[in-house]
A = this chain, B = another copy of it.
Amino acid sequence: MKSNQEIVQLIEKLRKLDTKNMYLNDFFHTWKESDDEIAAVFTVAEILRGMRENNISTKVFDSGLGISVFRDNSTRTRFSFASACNLLGLEVQDLDEKVSQIAHGETVRETANMVSFMADVIGIRDDMYIGKGHTYMKTVADSVEEGYRDGVLEQRPTLVNLQCDIDHPTQSMADMLHVINYFGGVENLKGKKIAMTWAYSPSYGKPLSVPQGIIGLFSRFGMDVVLAHPEGYEIMSDVEEVAAANAKASGGSFRKVNTMEEAFRDADIVYPKSWAPYAVMEERTKLVEQGRFDDLKDLEKRCLENNAKFKNWTCTEELMKTTRDGKALYMHCLPADISGLSCKEGEVDQSVFDRYLVPLYKEASYKPYIIAAMIFLAKFSSPSDKLAQLLKEAKPRIK
């Protein structure tokens, strides 16, 4: 538990960071944010968590809505968003949008305004279709920006990307904050090797935004970022270029290797996780748009057959032994496909998964605070002053 003094120090750290461009802005991709902005999200997340541990209220909204839009079912992300909103004083309202509706721009603009009269934040998860998710979010953000400018809305709702086809910033930043705490500080990450690797799963169509998000963010911290996947399971090349540029700028490296074995060797962190090949995801989007559902089934069948060729891409105890001192930090965004537990053959051995249960839950526990920090930084022009004021008032959360 953080002491009052530690929270004060974090607020002072925040004060030195330039966050003025975050004010009244949106959060789409980590690589569109400056280093100061990324550091500010981590810092505010830590401060909010510290205050909650100390039963200090962080309810900065007296009223206001947080709108959530989920294009597919999501218990975890939904609860993380609801938790973040609640922590700040916003009430969540869910907007049901069916996956099948790939709405045209005008409808999106109208709906975005109609649900936003009292909205301070809109959280969207739309990761199902390549080329669609981010575009949809951008349209929503532009629509409410216009609505605010035109006097339709009394406030400008902030958009928080809860997972799109390109990035999953609330996941990658929760993951990174976990890593920072695990290794005792961001300054200890230089030179650490992280293996972001594909792993076998008996399911199909898992989004690419997790591996993309991880390499796009972790490459900023001077780490040795290694991506591994079977042939054909390429991710977006744009994001690989982002990772390469980040690595260069941060004094780290970004490499691709061909086997899980090579990726795991001497790794400090391993992140074995399944995803669908980019090409398959592209084909899938087209087939859905054209309503060719028989072809979709065929695509799924072919994809699963192809997956099955790579059942040996799985995080075993043997592989774990090859990591740094045999003790790499195992990470996953959850839920994982656990061999012998949730499926016959999956991403990870049960014994490995079980050993990392508490770290995995802690990893997930940062997400609500990351989301809350993104909202906070978009709503206060001087976030450090506001947090200092909350700390000083020290209004109890449970009275």
| CB closest residue in chain B, given A367 | B117
Copies assembled: 3
In the bound complex, CA of A104 to CA of B89 (Å): 35
Write the A105-116 contact mask toward B (1 if CB under 8 angstroms, else 0). Answer: 011001101110
The reply to whether the CB of A10 lies closer than 8 angstroms to some CB of chain B is no
Q: A202 contacts which chain B residues (CB < 8 A)? A: none
Q: Do B86 and A64 touch across chains, with their CB atoms under 8 A apart?
A: yes
B59, A59: Cβ atoms closer than 8 Å: no
A83–B118 CB distance below 8 A: yes
Map CB proximity to B onto A356-399 as digits: 1 under 8 Å, 0 otherwise: 00100110110110000000000100000010000000011111
**Contact indicator A79/B93 (Cβ below 8 Å):** yes
Task: Confirm or deny: A6 has a beta carbon within 8 angstroms of a beta carbon on chain B.
Answer: no
Which of A49, A52, A398 gathers the greatest number of chain B CB atoms within 10 Å?
A398
Query: From residue 40 to 98 of chain A, which have CB atoms closer than 8 A to chain B?
Result: 49, 52-53, 57-65, 75-76, 79-80, 82-83, 86-87, 89, 91-93, 95-96
Chain A residues in the interface with B (C-beta under 8 A): 49, 52-53, 57-65, 75-76, 79-80, 82-83, 86-87, 89, 91-93, 95-96, 104, 106-107, 110-111, 113-115, 117-118, 120, 147, 150-154, 334-335, 338, 341-342, 358, 361-362, 364-365, 367-368, 379, 386, 395-399
Closest 6 CB pairs of A and B: A83-B118, A152-B361, A57-B62, A79-B115, A150-B358, A62-B397
